[in-house]
Amino acid sequence: METNSLKPLRNLLMERWKKLMALSRAYRTDPAYRARCDEDPRAVLAEECVDLPPGMEVRFVADTADTVHVAMPVDPNTPLSEEELAMAAAGEGRLHIDSYGRQYQLRWNPERKMYEHDYNV
């Protein structure tokens, strides 16, 4: 069940996900676009209305026939932003979108001492 307070954030995340999927297609099919992504990824993302926090590094990396890249999730011990702290205080976890475009939250389960995926957001 989606709360009214999460609906705008969910819509924003889905909009960004769709833009990133279009960016991925362009990266794979257009050599000039790929070169721009490799040279200045922040500028390319800014053109797509994806704002990154200052100091955050971003890199485009493509798999090849003999190399596969595995992106590991953020360490759960990473400090939370003020917004994430407010969400945690309200019993909500970090919002994420999986590779299929489905939204979920990571919720801390104190009994199991681990994060669990909750797709019912």
Q: Could you tell me if 66 and 82 lie in one domain?
A: no
Q: Could you tell me if 46 and 80 lie in one domain?
A: no
| Cα distance between the two ends of the chain | 6
Q: Could you tell me if 78 and 67 lie in one domain?
A: no
Q: Could you tell me if 49 and 88 lie in one domain?
A: no
Mean pLDDT is lowest, of 4-13, 55-64, 82-91, 102-111, for: 82-91
Task: Give pTM, 2 decimals.
Answer: 0.48
Boundary of a domain, candidates 55, 71, 87: 71
Per-residue pLDDT tens for 67-104? 998 877 767 677 767 766 666 666 555 566 665 566 67
Tell me which residue has tokens 């297609």. 25
Look up the domain containing 79 and give its range.
72-121
Q: Could you tell me if 79 and 57 lie in one domain?
A: no
Q: Could you tell me if 10 and 67 lie in one domain?
A: yes
